[in-house]
Amino acid sequence: MMKLSRTIIINGSIVDNYAQVMSNPIFERIVREYIKMLELNHSSALNAISEFRENKFCYKKVAEFLYSLTFKPIGKTGYKVKQSYLQEFVEGLYDFWRGKHRFIIKHERYLKDFGSRNNAIKSAEFVGEVFEKTARGIYRALENNISSNTEKILRQVPSGAQVIFIVDKSRIQREERMKYNWMYSVPFVWNVIYEPPVIFYTKSNKRKGVFPVINERILDRIDLDKKWYALPLHVGNLMIYVYVNSEYLCHAAGLANLFEIATPNELRTPDGVVVFGLPLEVVGKDYVNGVVFKDTLYAGVIPKIIENDYFGYAKKIVLTVHNLIMIDRSKLPIHGSLATIKLKNGKSATAMFVGDSGAGKSETLDALGRLSEVSELEVIIDDMGSLSIEDEKVVAYGTETGAFVRLDDLPPGYAYANIDRSLLMNPDQNNARVIVPYGNFDKIIQPTHIDFFFYADNYTKVNSNEERVCFFNDPDDALEIFSKGARMAKGTTSEKGMSYSYFANPFGAIQRREIHEKIARTYMYKMFETGVKVGEIRTMLGIEGYEKDGPHLAAQALLKVISKFKA
């Protein structure tokens, strides 16, 4: 079976003219892969290049012929072929190119002076614009010289790089580098430029299992080559270095739209590391879908296999490392959402919704934000955060500045309304997702007081508004429901039907259950002691026929509760 490359990496200096682009080995590789695909499909478009075939096609000559066709009409090339075949070939080649994941890597020094940094970013933007015009111009020149007709409609479809990564080498002090040189030997991303719409198709769209945590050394066994890039991230108050194999740069782009990037002057010894795309033999065959090693640092690792080519693995391994560190620090990691809801009547409250993937957290918040009685809804945590006890009160901290949202259960048009800021993953498939920024980093790392602490129940069918939001009178009763972590699976993972995950958090809590139970009890009792209202909200998202109405009804019921709430 022919293996096609998915990711194309363009050097930030090879972008500005047809000859430069079409003489680059990347162009010949695209031509070769395209022809092999046509051969596999026995396509009639191969008739366009039959002259370049003896025992097999000469890809170099095909590439050279296409270049000549950019500056002279087909009639002057001495090449005789049916116009329709050549048009079909070129159209297909253009679509084949646009189907790739396309990135520009621009090396720019991160300088202390703001003006100089800004100029470096503008330079990268200019490179992207020029390459976009060059790629589209090549296609138009080929079309014009094949048909000699003036096109009546021109479509400015995205043809260049989807994402530009601006990178620099690490300038961590020599003493620190000597511990694990590989950590600082690859380019560090310090700025990312998106060219919307950014749409990626991955080879998997579900996540399997939980990440085991093992006490084993891994950091000494890692050695990264030039095909790797480092993405230093602020994950809440932690700094986690994420190392991504070039084949998976789409996931690095997703992480950059989800977390705050740390700039080179902020770099320090990381609190944890994540490595996405290590060969399975380095990781160990017992850990096919990922593992967290407890070395001198927590090191989350995702092996390079097809099943792991899903953004959920990249995001959740980062959050698992974060949560393990939080548990070690006696904080309570929460798999949930947190938002401040302000009503037009002047009432307001901050509510946290706890639940596993598909429980209806994001959907209920989205429904709340659409109610006419709501004047403002500020999302502080979309998926993962942590609780801390400060000044004898429970407060929450966030981790992400964006959301990884399941489109299937959101209102139609959600993706289109946010497409200029979003990154879409597999939009035409089940469990289609969008990664959209929503918050300010400075806000999510500030302590936020909680008024309501809800378990998001997506499986209980209720018929009255009074049943949609209910409260516990005893912390032990609440702990029983939260610890059970029940939900109806929604196709976001490999699970089906009813599933149970301790505290709805398979990302650290279940791996450290014994210590987590002690921490959870302390925090639950403290919430009851300080007046935080703890309860359940029934979203009915997992019940057939209520995927849209369930969160909306839950939002309306919560609206009534907030209207009567006395802070």
Show the tokens assigned to 387: 């609780």
- Distance, CA of 14 to CA of 379 (rounded, Å): 42
- Decide if pLDDT at 1 tops 60: no
Q: Identify the H or E element spanning 140.
A: helix 114-147
- Distance, CA of 407 to CA of 115 (rounded, Å): 39
Long-range Cβ contacts of 373-377 (<8 Å, 24+ apart): 373/343, 373/344, 373/345, 373/559, 373/563, 374/341, 374/342, 374/343, 374/344, 374/559, 375/342, 375/343, 375/344, 376/340, 376/341, 376/342, 377/339, 377/340, 377/341, 377/342
- Distance, CA of 478 to CA of 499 (rounded, Å): 19
Residue type at position 225: D
CA 341 to chain centroid, in Å, comes to 26
Residue 306 has a pLDDT of 94
Confidence at 495, pLDDT banded by 50, 70, 90: low
pLDDT (mean) for 233-259 = 97
- Decide if pLDDT at 222 tops 80: yes
Per-residue pLDDT tens for 497-549? 888 999 999 999 999 999 999 999 999 999 999 999 999 999 999 998 898 89
Q: Which of 73-87, 307-321, 393-407 has the lowest mean pLDDT?
A: 73-87
Expressed in angstroms, the distance from the first to the final Cα of the chain is: 64
**Average pLDDT of the chain, as a whole number:** 91
- Decide if pLDDT at 89 tops 80: yes
Assessment of whether the complete model's pTM goes beyond 0.75: yes
Long-range Cβ contacts of 515-518 (<8 Å, 24+ apart): 515/327, 516/327, 516/332, 517/483
- Decide if pLDDT at 17 tops 80: yes
Q: Which of 174-188, 290-304, 407-421 has the lowest mean pLDDT?
A: 407-421
